[in-house]
């Protein structure tokens, strides 16, 4: 999923923000992501790969739940879910937490 890096991610969101919308409705996904969303660390992860996976899962979940939720069907929702689950299925997170305790 390297194609969902930060620069590509904001281009996707920008293009979706600019799509013709119903009168009186202007989504502000880009504004939310730049000004209101932030990564709050509950556990310190020293491995940058873990942090990348956390950010990737946030992007995929945000895309699925907020940006395209009204236009995707169940099979595509399941694909989004599969990608996020596969990011967490390896024991990378659990191993890291157990090593630090």
Q: How far is CA 25 from CA 15, 18, 19, 64, in A?
A: 15, 11, 11, 19
Which domain does 6 fall in, by range?
2-100
Q: Is the pLDDT of residue 66 over 60?
A: yes
pLDDT 10s digits, 32-62: 877 777 778 887 888 888 888 888 888 888 8
- As a whole number, the mean pLDDT across the chain is 78
Taking a C-beta distance cutoff of 8 angstroms, is the pair 14, 27 a contact? no
Domain count, the chain: 1
Residue 1 pLDDT: 47
């Amino acid at each position: 999923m390297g194609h969902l890096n930060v620069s590509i991610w904001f281009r996707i969101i920008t293009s979706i923000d600019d799509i013709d919308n119903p009168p009186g409705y202007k989504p502000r996904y880009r504004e939310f992501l730049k000004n209101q969303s932030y990564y709050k660390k509950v556990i310190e992860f020293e491995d940058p790969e873990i942090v990348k996976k956390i950010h990737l899962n946030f992007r995929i979940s945000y895309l699925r739940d907020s940006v395209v939720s009204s236009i995707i069907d169940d099979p595509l929702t399941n694909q989004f879910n599969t990608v996020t689950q596969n990011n967490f299925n390896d024991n990378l997170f659990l191993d890291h937490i157990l090593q630090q305790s």
